Amino acid sequence: MPLSFRPWFSTPSRTRRGHLSSATLAILAQAQSVLMSQQQAIVSLQASLASMSAPRQSSQPLVSRATAPEKCDLEMSSAIFRSWRRSTECWLQLNKWPDADAILCIHLLCVPAL
């Protein structure tokens, strides 16, 4: 006796569309509101992360670049160099320079030809 074959698309559960109970509709509405609130939380987190990685605009005025330390000299003694290094470090922190830019600034201050 051959088995009867019934295609998957003709099952009774698939053919009754649009007949959902009120409890199912309430659960779906609640799930949709939870998903929307999670999406809003994700968007706000992304915005806060973007603002953290963006250069910060400080309300305090930056120290003038005219007050930058002088260039490093090859004939400096070790004590004078340590003092120069400390003043340069403090100047960079006061100006809130990012590390990558601070490295370039120090390079420009230490290379005599630049």
Mean pLDDT over residues 10-18, rounded? 54
Is there a contact between 96 and 61 (Cβ–Cβ < 8 Å)? no
User: Is residue 7 in a domain?
Assistant: no
Question: What is the number of structural domains in the chain?
Answer: 2
pLDDT at 35: 87
pLDDT-based confidence at 3, cuts 50/70/90? low
User: Is residue 11 in a domain?
Assistant: no
Backbone torsion region of residue 113, taken as left when φ is above 0, otherwise alpha when ψ lies between -120 and 50, otherwise beta: alpha
Our separate counts of H helices and E strands in the chain read 4, 0
pLDDT at 60: 47
- Please give the residue range of the domain that contains residue 44: 21-48
What's the token pair of residue 57?
């605009």
pLDDT at 16: 54
